[in-house]
Structure 1
Amino acid sequence: MRMVQATTLSSIDDYRIIEAAPPEPGPGEVLIDVAACGVGYVDALVALGRYQVKPPLPHTPGQEAAGRVAKVGPGVEHLAPGDRVMASVRGGFAQQALAPAATVRAIPERLAFAQAAGFHINYVTALHALTDRANLAAGESVLVLGAAGGLGAAGLQVAKLLGARVIAAASSEEKRDFCRALGADEVLDTAPEGWRERLKAAGGGRGPDVVFDPVCGPLFEPAFRSLNWRGRHLVLGFVGGPIPALPANLTLMKGAALVGVDVRQFMLLEPDRARAHLDQLLVWAGDGRLAPPLGRGFALDQFALALEFALTGQGVGKTVLEVADL
Structure 2
Amino acid sequence: MKAVVVENYEAIDNVALKDVAQPDITPGMVRVRIQAASVGFVDGLKVRGLYQTRDPLPFTPGTEFAGTVDAVAPDVEGFAPGTPVIGMARSGGLAEYICLPASALFVRPEDVAPEVGASFFANYLTALYSLKVRGTLRQGETLLVLGAAGGVGIAAVQVAKLLGASVIAAASTEAKRQFATAYGADAVVDYTVDGWRDEIKTLTSGRGVDVIFDPVGGDLSLQAFRSIAWNGRHLVVGFAAGSIPALPFNLPLLKGGALLGVDLAQIGRREPDVRDQLIAQLFAWLSEKTLLPVVGKIFAFQDFRDAFKAMTTRSALGKMVVRID
Q: Match for residue 131 of structure 1?
A: 132
Cα distance in 1 for residues equivalent to 2:174 and 2:312: 21
Q: Match for residue 40 of structure 1?
A: 40
Look up the SS of the partner of 1:152 in the other structure: helix
Cα distance in 1 for residues equivalent to 2:268 and 2:184: 28
- Of 173-182 and 301-310, more deviation after overlay is shown by 301-310
Matched, 1:109 2:74: no
- What is the deviation of 1:313? 5.4
- What is the deviation of 1:56? 2.0
The correspondence of residues 1-326 of structure 1 with structure 2, limited to 5 A, is: 1-89=1-89, 90-312=91-313, 314-324=315-325
Cα distance in 1 for residues equivalent to 2:243 and 2:31: 39
Look up the SS of the partner of 1:30 in the other structure: strand
- What is the deviation of 1:67? 1.1
**Superposition misfits of 4+ residues, deviation over 6 angstroms:** none
CA offsets 1:112-164 (integer angstroms, 9 cap, x no match): 11111011111111111112211111111100010110010111111111111
Look up the SS of the partner of 2:307 in the other structure: helix
Q: Is the 8 A contact 1:167 1:203 kept in 2?
A: no
Look up the SS of the partner of 2:128 in the other structure: helix
Look up the SS of the partner of 1:92 in the other structure: coil
RMSD of the TM alignment (CA)? 1.5
Q: Is the 8 A contact 1:150 1:316 kept in 2?
A: yes
Q: Is the 8 A contact 2:10 2:49 kept in 1?
A: yes
Cα distance in 2 for residues equivalent to 1:191 and 1:31: 46
Cα distance in 2 for residues equivalent to 1:318 and 1:141: 25
Q: Is the 8 A contact 2:68 2:83 kept in 1?
A: yes
Counterpart of 1:153 in structure 2: which amino acid?
A: I
- What is the deviation of 1:211? 0.5
CA offsets 1:228-253 (integer angstroms, 9 cap, x no match): 10011111111113222222111111
TM-score normalised to the size of structure 2? 0.95
Cα distance in 2 for residues equivalent to 1:25 and 1:199: 54
- What is the deviation of 1:192? 3.5
Cα distance in 2 for residues equivalent to 1:112 and 1:174: 26
Look up the SS of the partner of 2:199 in the other structure: helix
- Of 35-44 and 101-110, more deviation after overlay is shown by 101-110
Look up the SS of the partner of 1:209 in the other structure: strand
Q: Is the 8 A contact 1:234 1:261 kept in 2?
A: yes
Give unpaired runs (5+ residues) of structure 2: none
Cα distance in 2 for residues equivalent to 1:109 and 1:315: 28
Cα distance in 1 for residues equivalent to 2:292 and 2:254: 39
Cα distance in 1 for residues equivalent to 2:193 and 2:285: 36
- What is the deviation of 1:204? 4.1
Cα distance in 2 for residues equivalent to 1:9 and 1:190: 33
CA offsets 1:272-306 (integer angstroms, 9 cap, x no match): 22122112111111211111111011211112222
Q: Is the 8 A contact 2:85 2:106 kept in 1?
A: yes
- Of 137-146 and 184-193, more deviation after overlay is shown by 184-193
Cα distance in 2 for residues equivalent to 1:15 and 1:42: 16
Cα distance in 2 for residues equivalent to 1:193 and 1:40: 29
Cα distance in 1 for residues equivalent to 2:190 and 2:225: 17
Give unpaired runs (5+ residues) of structure 1: none
Q: Is the 8 A contact 1:30 1:71 kept in 2?
A: yes
Cα distance in 2 for residues equivalent to 1:77 and 1:236: 34
Q: Is the 8 A contact 2:298 2:322 kept in 1?
A: yes
Counterpart of 1:79 in structure 2: which amino acid?
A: F
- Of 16-25 and 176-185, more deviation after overlay is shown by 16-25
CA offsets 1:3-24 (integer angstroms, 9 cap, x no match): 1112222332442111123212
Q: Is the 8 A contact 2:6 2:61 kept in 1?
A: no
Q: Is the 8 A contact 1:110 1:288 kept in 2?
A: no
Cα distance in 2 for residues equivalent to 1:97 and 1:109: 21
Counterpart of 2:220 in structure 1: which amino acid?
A: L
Q: Is the 8 A contact 2:176 2:315 kept in 1?
A: no
TM-score normalised to the size of structure 1? 0.95
Counterpart of 1:72 in structure 2: which amino acid?
A: V
Identity fraction in percent: 47
